Structure formats: structure tokens, C-alpha cells
Chain A
């Protein structure tokens, strides 16, 4: 319940945050709802927390042509209610409104969720499905990482130790579905499927089916080849290595992936 001791520094700017992250074993603290649970069970013991919670400039939703830029410190609760996001990318807004529970949504940030890279993360899965871009600031300047390259393993991302995720850019898109199977409302997905039509292609993403959120490439190819939802969905678990844990076995997850994929394809 009590974290191991750590030092704490509050960054007043992105540059200051980057500099503070130069210390070994430092971690970024945003909303804290991915990090603090780990600290309380002593699964992580950073020597320094760099609190970026006051960088108010990183909390926004902005239209930019056919894309929307989202500040990394935007809270799930903010995104659920944002009118620009509701209009331009309702799928993400609705998903953000379903993360965790209301108290968690008042603190947790989209940047924090994404940088934490839980394989069952709802927003990470949506962003991977949408081929979002992640903008990071580091000691060598700014760079943009495409979602396909971002999630590198369980709780691992392409971000360098001194890099700060500052913005997430998503395409404007209509419709789409995120079907999430849970034991309880507040739980992480046992399996979830995101499906959306983007520029004429169908994109399908899977949560909790492997080491990271996944794109169901075999399903996408089948759809592109003209397959009906049920036939395309049969490929849902192809190439995935779903875990077996307290929420479900690998077999059940593979089965759910097929069912939810078919339903999502039927609905979009």
C-alpha cells in the first residue's frame, strides 16, 4: 500500500521535464493512475518522479484540417465531453468515457495511458486502430512516432528514457465501434475489438490479445478481399498470442475476439 520512497520534482516546462528525466530510474507522473498503482504494490521503484501535471499547455483538443491534435495531458473525462472530439472522432471520445470508472477518468490522461502501454488499454487500442501519430519531445528535439511503431511490448514503448509524449494526432473519422467484453464494468478488457472505416479501408484493432494492442491484419485483409463479416472475423486471433489469466483463458479470448470482431464488422 505504501510506495517505496522516491524523490519528486515538478516540471514547469517541457524542457525542464526532459532535463529531469535525465536522471536514472526516473518516471513521468501525469494523472498517476497507471503509475501509482504499480508503486503502491512496489512493482515499480523509480528513484525520481517527474510531475508534469502542471503543464497546462498540454491539455487541449484542436482541429487541424482533417486531423485532431490532442494534448497528452488531456484527461479521459475531458475527452469524453469535448465537443470537437465528439464531432470529429466520436469513437475515441466514447471510448475515453468508458475507461476505468468516473474517479479514474477525472485523473487519468490519454498520454499516461498510451505511454504506459498496457496490452489491454482501450485508448491505446483505438489509437493503434486509427493509425494515430504520437508526438514526442526529447533532448534531441521533437519527433513523430506512428502508432504502428509505438507499442513495442508489454508496458514498453518506443519512447526514449528522456522523451515526453506531448501530443496525439488522430484522423477525423465517423462512426466506428469499440466492443469491450469485461467481467465487471470497472475491469480492463478481457478482450476488446475496435473497428472503423478510414479512407475506404476497414481497420480492426484488438485489446488484451497479446503483448501489445494489436491490429488484426488478417481480418483487415479478408475484408479488403470482399469477405463477409463472419468469414473475416474467423481470422481475428490469427497471429495473436492471447494471455491466460484471471479474466480468461487464451482459448476463450480467441473465441471472444472472433465473436466481437464479427459483431463490430456488422455494425460499422
Chain B
């Protein structure tokens, strides 16, 4: 099926099998490998991207469903001016270790702060309930999101 999705600002046209998951479309058809696959039950959030500005788990969206939509992946966050404030906050607060869950957490945090610019600790923890990390114990991820909120991310 022919689809057209704007990804990180660029319109991408493709012909895909209906069963193609958005995450595999991004990774394999477009070569955007920053979005990771961590599970097969919509549990871990490693695949989180923005679809029309809101966080979604791209493993649970068909590419054909995203036809005509706008997707932002981790590759689309930083600009020539530098890292996005959430990315910068993750760096400054040592909120990543192996890095595999990081793109998903960054995108989920961007969406969280868009909807709730000044979240409490509890709101951040609940807001990230859909993302799993094994390395960090979440402590520094929480600090990073708080720092990004203070920086007006």
C-alpha cells in the first residue's frame, strides 16, 4: 500500500505491506535506526516516537495508520544549534547508561513536558510508566526531566 508520512520534517513516500509496523518502517525503510525495539507486548516504550506531536509506541502503530501524519523520531530532535533541552538534561544528569531505552525515554519526556510543563516528581514517574529501563533505576531519568522542565523544555 502506498503511503506518505512526514518524518522529521521530510515527506517520505513508500509502498509497504499493511502489516509493516511503524517502528520497522522507520528503521528499515527509512534507515532511521535510533528508535529501538525492546519488547513485543507494548510494554517497554523503547520504540516511542511522536506522531502528530504526541508520544506513541511505534511498535503498536501500523505504518499505514500513520499515512498522512507527522512523525518525529529521536534523530529529529537535535538541531544545528545543538541538542534538545531534554537530550541535554539527560546528558548532564547521567540519565543513560547502555542507551537502548534512551530514545524512547527522551521522546516520552518531550511529550510529557509538552502536556505538563511543570510536573511534580509523582507526575513524572506516572508519566513515564510506559517506559522501562534496566540500567539506571530511573533515579537520574527523573532528575533529568525535572531539570529539563526547569530549563523550560
- A–B touching in complex (CB under 8 Å): yes
Bound-state CA distance A32–B61 (Å) is: 7
8 Å CB interface, B53-93 against A: 54-57, 59-62, 64-65
Bound-state CA distance A6–B18 (Å) is: 7
Number of B residues near A (Cβ < 8 Å) is 31
**In the complex, which residues of chain B have a beta carbon less than 8 angstroms from the beta carbon of A29?**
62, 65
Set A3, A6, A103: member contacting B57, Cβ < 8 A: A103
**In the complex, which residues of chain A have a beta carbon less than 8 angstroms from the beta carbon of B117?**
none
- Given contact pairs A6-B18, A29-B65, A104 touches B42 in the complex (Cβ within 8 A): yes
Would A106 and B54 count as touching, CB distance under 8 A?
yes
Chain A binding surface SS class: loop
Would A185 and B129 count as touching, CB distance under 8 A?
yes
- Given contact pairs A102-B111, A106-B55, A8 touches B40 in the complex (Cβ within 8 A): no
- Given contact pairs A6-B19, A101-B129, A1 touches B37 in the complex (Cβ within 8 A): yes
Nearest-CB residue, chain A, relative to B51: A106
- Given contact pairs A41-B41, A102-B55, A51 touches B130 in the complex (Cβ within 8 A): no
Nearest-neighbour CB distance to chain A for B84, whole angstroms, equals: 19
8 Å CB interface, A1-17 against B: 1-8, 10
Number of A residues near B (Cβ < 8 Å) is 31
B48 adjacent to chain A (CB < 8 Å): yes
B13 adjacent to chain A (CB < 8 Å): no
B121 adjacent to chain A (CB < 8 Å): no
Set A4, A8, A41, A102: member contacting B127, Cβ < 8 A: A102
Bound-state CA distance A29–B62 (Å) is: 10
**In the complex, which residues of chain A have a beta carbon less than 8 angstroms from the beta carbon of B148?**
none
B108 adjacent to chain A (CB < 8 Å): yes
- Given contact pairs A8-B64, A29-B65, A32-B60, A102 touches B19 in the complex (Cβ within 8 A): no
Would B19 and A2 count as touching, CB distance under 8 A?
yes
Would B60 and A37 count as touching, CB distance under 8 A?
yes
- Given contact pairs A8-B1, A32-B60, A51-B64, A186 touches B129 in the complex (Cβ within 8 A): yes
Nearest-CB residue, chain B, relative to A107: B56
Would B43 and A186 count as touching, CB distance under 8 A?
yes
Nearest-CB residue, chain A, relative to B42: A37
Nearest-CB residue, chain A, relative to B18: A8
Would A36 and B60 count as touching, CB distance under 8 A?
yes
Nearest-CB residue, chain B, relative to A8: B18
Bound-state CA distance A26–B40 (Å) is: 23
8 Å CB interface, A24-63 against B: 29, 32-33, 36-37, 39-41, 49, 51, 53
Bound-state CA distance A10–B64 (Å) is: 9
A229 adjacent to chain B (CB < 8 Å): no
Bound-state CA distance A185–B17 (Å) is: 34
- Given contact pairs A2-B19, A40-B40, A51-B65, A103 touches B48 in the complex (Cβ within 8 A): yes
- Show 9 residue pairs from A and B whose CB-CB distance is below 8 angstroms, ordered by the A residue: A5-B19, A8-B62, A29-B65, A32-B62, A32-B65, A36-B62, A37-B60, A106-B55, A107-B60
